[in-house]
Structure 1
Amino acid sequence: MINLDITDNGLWTVTLNRPDKANALTGAMLEQLCEIAVRAQAARGMIVTGTGRVFSAGADLDAARAGLATSPLWEQLSGAIADLPCLTVAALNGTLAGGANGMALACDLRIAVPTAKVFYPVMKLGYRPQPSDAIRMSALIGPARTKLILAAGQKIDAEEARIFGLIDRIVPAEELMNCARDLMADVLGSETQLAHAILADCTRS
């Protein structure tokens, strides 16, 4: 249910492939994603995307009720992605919901199709968001807009998310992956240490 493609030039493409369940994540899928994210220290660039019309609905409901909603795997995954020295892009092929926000928030860039929506219905479901999700979202869009999504449970469409700064670019569905690969072109074509240094400079506070 997780596909990994690695090209000769070091681009890793991770694809959530459970479209019949809106790419909802099970514990086994999260474990596999964590393993890939740790291995991706060797990548020169990484794209995370999904199949179908939804990027991910977050936790599989049955798994969530069984304890997945509060699993440390969510924090392990987003932390591993955030720690990667390479450029990371979330190519949102559709709606981003719940705990799946952590993967996208941990990426350097987020691009999305026009029909994508972002929401995180933790209050309704009786769970707290993962700590780093709230921190990263607030760093991107500010505390008030973060509360709009997390506390008020609002569903944000792609254009509003772009205006907020939660999404960096909106592209037609048929161009999504080409756009993601284009964003990687300079990094993949450069000397690795230079690319890492520039990325570090961009995130240095």
Structure 2
Amino acid sequence: MIQSTQTARGLWTVRLNRPDKANALTPEMLEELIDTVDRAQQARALILTGVGKVFSAGADLDAARAGLATSPLWEDLSARLAALPCLKIAALNGTVAGGANGMVLACDIRIAVPGLKVFYPVMRLGYLPQPSDVVRLRALIGPARTRMLLVAGQKFSAREAYDFGLIDRIVEPEDLMSVAGDLADPTLDADPDRAAAILRSCS
């Protein structure tokens, strides 16, 4: 349910592939994502996307009831992805919900289709958000809008997410992956050490 491909130039593309369940995440999928990130240590750039019209509905409901909602796997995945020493681009093919926000926030650049919705219903569901998600949200959109998302349970549209600084570009669905590839091209063409140094300087 996790697909990954690599090119000779060092571009990794990682896809959530469970479209019949809105790419809802199971423990096995999170573990596979962690393993994929660990294998991508030599990647020059990585694009994270989903199959279908939803990036991810967050935790699979049955798995959440069985304990996934409070699993350390979420924090482990976002930490490893954030630490990956290459450019990471989230190409959001649709809505991002709940814990799936963590891997998106751990990326360096976020682009999304116009139909994107972002929500993180921890208050309604009775769970705590992952600590690093709150830190990254505050850094991107500020404390008040973080409260809108987490405390007031608001859904952000693509335009709101762009205006707030949560995503960096709105892209038509048919152009999503080509734009993501274009964003990765300068890094793939550059000297690896120089590209890594420039990326580090932006953190």
Same fold, judged at TM 0.5 (above): yes
SS at match of 2:128: coil
Other structure's SS at 2:185 match: helix
State the match for 2:162 in structure 1: 162
User: What is the CA-CA distance between 1:37 and the residue it aligns to?
Assistant: 1.1
> What letter is aligned with 1:136?
R
Correspondence 1:1-205 to 2 at 5 A = 1-203=1-203
TM-score computed with the length of structure 2 as normaliser: 0.99
Which sits farther off after the overlay, 17-26 or 31-40? 31-40
- Measured in 2, the distance between the counterparts of 1:17 and 1:128 equals 27
Q: Distance in 1 between matches of 2:51 and 2:63?
A: 21
Matches of 2:90 and 2:53, distance apart in 1: 15
Cα distance in 1 for partners of 2:38, 2:195 equals 19
Distance 2:71 2:9 in 1: 34
CA positional deviation for 1:42: 1.0
Alpha-carbon distance in 1 for matches of 2:8, 2:142: 39
After superposition, give the CA deviation of every residue in 1:46-97 in whole Å (9 maximum; x if it has no partner): 0000011100000000000000011101001000110011000000000000
Give the TM-score taking structure 1 as reference length.
Answer: 0.98
* Unmatched runs of 5 consecutive residues or more in structure 1: none
Q: Equivalents in 2 of 1:40, 1:120: separation in Å?
A: 28
1:200 match: secondary structure: helix
Cα RMSD, aligned residues only = 0.5
In 1: Cα distance, 2:20 partner to 2:152 partner:
29
1:42 aligned counterpart, secondary structure:
coil
Matching residue's letter, 2:140: L
Distance 1:201 1:29 in 2: 32
Deviation of the 1:99 alpha carbon: 0.1
* Inter-partner Cα distance in structure 2 for 1:202 and 1:39: 24
Identify unmatched segments of 5+ residues in structure 2.
none
Amino acid across the alignment from 1:124: R
Aligned pairs, number: 203
Corresponding letter in the other structure for 1:19: P
Q: What percentage of aligned pairs have identical amino acids? A: 67
- Counterpart of 1:60, as a letter, is D
